[in-house]
Amino acid sequence: MGARAATSTADEIIPRMAIQKPIAIWLLVCCVLVFAMVVVGGVTRLTDSGLSIVEWKPILGTIPPLSESDWEEIFEKYHKTPQYKKVNQGMSPDEFKNIFWWEYFHRLLGRVIGLVFLIPFLYFSLRKRIDQPLGLKLAGIFLLGGLQGLMGWYMVKSGLVDNPHVSQYRLTAHLSLAFIIFAAMFHVALKLFFPAGTLHEDNRVHSLYRFSQAIIGLIFLMVLSGGFVAGIRAGLAYNTFPLMNGHFIPPEIFTMEPWYRNFFDNMATVQFDHRIIAWILAILVPIFWFKSRRLTLPSSTQLACNLLLFMLVVQISLGVATLLMVVPLPLAVAHQAGAMLLFTAALWVNHKLR
C-alpha cells in the first residue's frame, strides 16, 4: 500500500509540474522585464529625463511624436515646467529629444510589462491552469503593477509644480514598489518550479533560514535608503571612503529641525544611513556564508550562498566606486542594477533554505 501511495503521489506531481513550469517561466520573464525597468528608471533619473513628459496618457501616450509639429507641441509644454525654467533654460530641441526618449522608453516598458503579465494570465486562467490560490496571488501582483504606474505619475507630478526635482519620498516609494513586485513574482515562480520540499530536521539549517530572512530585510532597507540618496542627490557629497570627509559620523548629521527631517532631507544623514546598512551587511553576510559552510547543504543551496556573498562584494565595490568618482552614469546605473541582483540572490538563498 505504501509503495502504491508513493507511486500515485509521484504520478500526480509530474503532471502538475508540467502545467506549472510554463507559468513559472512566464513569471521569470516578467522578473527580467522589471529588472530592465529598474535599470532604465535609473538612467532616466540620472539624466534628469523623468520630467520631460508632462502628461500621463496610458493609451495615447504609447504613440511617440511623429511630426515636427508634434515635437514642437511637446517641447512647448516642457517650457512651462520648473525644470526647464530653473535648470534647462535655453535647451535645444535636440537636447530635449535626448531626455524625452529615455522617459518615453521607461513608460513604454511599463506598458509592455503590463501586457506581458496580463495576456498570459488571462490565457492560463481560461485554460484552467491556474488554481484559485495562485490566481489570487497573481491578481494581487497585477494590482500592484497598476499601483506602480499610478505611483510613477504621482512621483512625476511632484516635479511639475514648483520644485524642478521629484520628491524623494515618492521616488523611494516608486523604487521600493518595483522591488516588492519583483520579489512577489520571483517567489511565486520559485515555488512553482520547486513545488515540493523536505523539511530540514537540523535546527541549524532553520536558524540559517531565519538569518537569510533578516538579510533580505536589510537589503530592502538599503534599497529604501538608496532611494533617498538618489532623491536628494546625496551621492554628490562626501565623496570619500571609508570616512565621510574625515569623519566616521559627519558633524552635520543633525543640523535640521525637527530632528527627524535629517533622515530624509539631510545629505549627511541620508548617506550615513546608507553606508551603515552596507557596513552591517558587509559583516553579516560573510558570517552567514561561514555558517553555511559548516553545514552539509545541497550543492545548489551552497551555490546560492556563494552567489550572495559574491554579489555583496560586487555591490559594495560598485557603491564605493560610484561615490569616489562622483556618480558617473554607467557606474551609478550598474550600482542600481546590482542592488536588484543582490536582492535576487538573497531571495534565492531564502528559498533554498526553506
Q: Does the pLDDT at position 233 exceed 50?
A: yes
Q: Does the pLDDT at position 9 exceed 50?
A: no
Q: Does the pLDDT at position 3 exceed 50?
A: no
Q: Does the pLDDT at position 7 exceed 50?
A: no
Res 16: pLDDT = 59
Mean pLDDT across 49-63 = 89
Q: How far apart are CA 91 and CA 101, in angstroms?
A: 15
Q: Does the pLDDT at position 32 exceed 70?
A: yes
**192-215: b (≥16 Cβ within 10 Å) or e:** bbeeeeeeeeeeebeebbebbeeb
Res 288: pLDDT = 98
Res 11: pLDDT = 45
> In sequence order, what are the residues at sequence separation of 6 or more whose Cβ sits closer than 8 angstroms to the Cβ of residue 232?
168, 264, 265, 267, 270
Mean pLDDT across 215-233 = 97
Mean pLDDT across 326-340 = 97
Mean pLDDT across 26-34 = 98
Chain segment 89-115, per-residue pLDDT in tens? 999 999 999 999 999 999 999 999 999
With cut-offs at 50, 70 and 90, classify the pLDDT of residue 10.
very low
Res 294: pLDDT = 93
Res 193: pLDDT = 87
Res 194: pLDDT = 82
Res 323: pLDDT = 97
With cut-offs at 50, 70 and 90, classify the pLDDT of residue 197.
low
Mean pLDDT across 263-290 = 97
- When mean pLDDT is compared across 38-42, 62-66, 106-110, 268-272, the lowest value belongs to 62-66
Domain ranges within the chain, ordered by starting residue = 12-196, 200-354
Res 17: pLDDT = 61
What's the whole-number average pLDDT of the chain? Answer: 92
Torsion of CA 5, 6, 7, 12, to 10 degrees: 90
